[in-house]
Structure 1
């Protein structure tokens, strides 16, 4: 018996969400229906596709192989639909972007709002997580990353450079000893990442400038920024975030002046997908414009 595409669609949802209930929410099915569909697919192939673990549903080796085939089927159906509809109108359907929470909070809302205004039938999902996304599992259609991946069947393009500086709230600075050189930082509260939760070496800013003692830390850069805004101390802040931080200003801008880059990462199979190409072009152009605009205001 041949598998139904609908069962493969359910299989993909469970593989990506690692949960029957989460997959059900994604598909608007109840968890029991999702479970029955998975069982039917396993019966069709006469093999186990998932193993229930303490953290959810994990793919078996056979499940991993099926996923790569199912993703290609999914992409072919999307391509066929796009070809039939044509490109005379705006983008349609759904696109999910994975991004670190700095860009997700301070860049993507404006950029994606503009794209959505030009494409009213397109649903854009922004998934902000302080970790590396898996495109092979299709956790997202594309990912904004802070360093280019070196493995996997992926396409990578550089979006833009961006700058970061040490910053603090004016009220904090008035209430504490002056900062005239890097050595003065040892007398101040420092805000940064939880060291063992830094998911990309490019985010290890404080280590780069020689700061070892951290008083207040989070795995989220947005939490760090809010700690700076709450007068909790000094932290490394994206220049494009500073315009959103009333009362916050740069400290030692000549001594602490970091440059990083954003990259757009896509699955290699998406290169033939005109919808993804058009969206990627708009996203990259929008991010370049927004970084330049906000940095000029910082």
Structure 2
């Protein structure tokens, strides 16, 4: 069994498609198909079941996946050791993240890391869902809840805060909002209820507000609705410096705290490159949350003066 065959097997397992795996590996799909067929012949079992949804692992394929992942980690670790660990970061690293972190924190943090490491290629996948690290949808993921299952490394990054907010253009058209009960008479902006992928994101539910007039699975869409004066909603404090037309409301009554976690596959602990990037990313995110929330506090103090 050759490593190159296992590499192609991993590509199909992760992308569930011959063509997608071919693009990732820069091999034509016909060659991918032949190599998978050769591997299945060597093993004596079908590794994939084809369906309209793509290529799904069979039981034999799932068993081989565990071995192939360990082989991949060994190859990557050997490459790092031979290349040396003292140099700059290089190669491709893909980060999965909810779009709040992906839009308002990760770009500037990753830009600073990339500026110090010219040979490093960073990809940010901003999706409102959980990532499957075993299938290498991402090398690491930023989450709002620590996972409780799987062979994973989980590290808390930082606490962050959210508040109720609305545009001044909206607030000028309505009576002052002084109680939580008054919110029931306002148009609320928030997540699509049946697309909330993590219970930690059900902010409006915590306030007893079940009707969401303007809903999206994207934090950025919600923020833009609020900026247009379309209603009221919960906003990350670290996003508010980029939206000065928004004003926090009921600050003493609506104060939501959450945390970000960095999640990695357990086998990546052997990779010094991944360890160094994770350390820089974690520290950079901590500093960026603190900087933006501190900037917001200064803006609020200036407006109150």
Q: Scaled by the length of structure 2, what TM-score is found?
A: 0.93
Secondary structure in 1 aligned to 2:172? helix
Structure 2 partner of 1:12: 10
Structure 1 partner of 2:278: 280
Structure 2 partner of 1:85: 83
CA separation in 1, counterparts of 2:13 and 2:228? 40
Structure 2 partner of 1:25: 23
Query: What is the root-mean-square deviation in Å for CA atoms of aligned residues?
Result: 1.3
CA separation in 1, counterparts of 2:75 and 2:237? 42
Structure 2 partner of 1:197: 195
Secondary structure in 2 aligned to 1:88? coil
Q: Does 1:265 align with 2:255?
A: no
Deviation at 1:34, TM superposition (A): 2.2
Structure 2 partner of 1:235: 233
**Structure 2 matches for 1:38-187, cutoff 5 A?**
38-187=36-185
Does the 8 Å contact 1:218/1:224 carry over to 2?
yes
Deviation at 1:52, TM superposition (A): 1.9
Deviation at 1:248, TM superposition (A): 1.3
CA separation in 1, counterparts of 2:222 and 2:295? 21
Secondary structure in 2 aligned to 1:24? helix
Secondary structure in 2 aligned to 1:175? coil
CA separation in 1, counterparts of 2:277 and 2:131? 19
Does the 8 Å contact 1:177/1:187 carry over to 2?
no
Deviation at 1:96, TM superposition (A): 1.1
CA separation in 2, counterparts of 1:221 and 1:76? 39
Question: Where does structure 1 lack aligned partners over 5 or more consecutive residues?
Answer: none
CA separation in 2, counterparts of 1:269 and 1:293? 33
CA separation in 2, counterparts of 1:36 and 1:66? 18
Runs of at least 4 residues off by over 3 Å? none
Deviation at 1:38, TM superposition (A): 2.0
1:30 to 1:170, Cα distance in 2 relative to 1, 3 A: farther
Q: Does 1:220 align with 2:218?
A: yes
Secondary structure in 1 aligned to 2:27? coil
1:230 to 1:121, Cα distance in 2 relative to 1, 3 A: same
**Higher deviation after alignment, 223-232 or 128-137:** 223-232
CA separation in 1, counterparts of 2:99 and 2:136? 19
Deviation at 1:31, TM superposition (A): 2.5
Q: Scaled by the length of structure 1, what TM-score is found?
A: 0.95
CA separation in 1, counterparts of 2:30 and 2:203? 47
Does the 8 Å contact 1:24/1:34 carry over to 2?
yes
CA separation in 2, counterparts of 1:222 and 1:59? 35
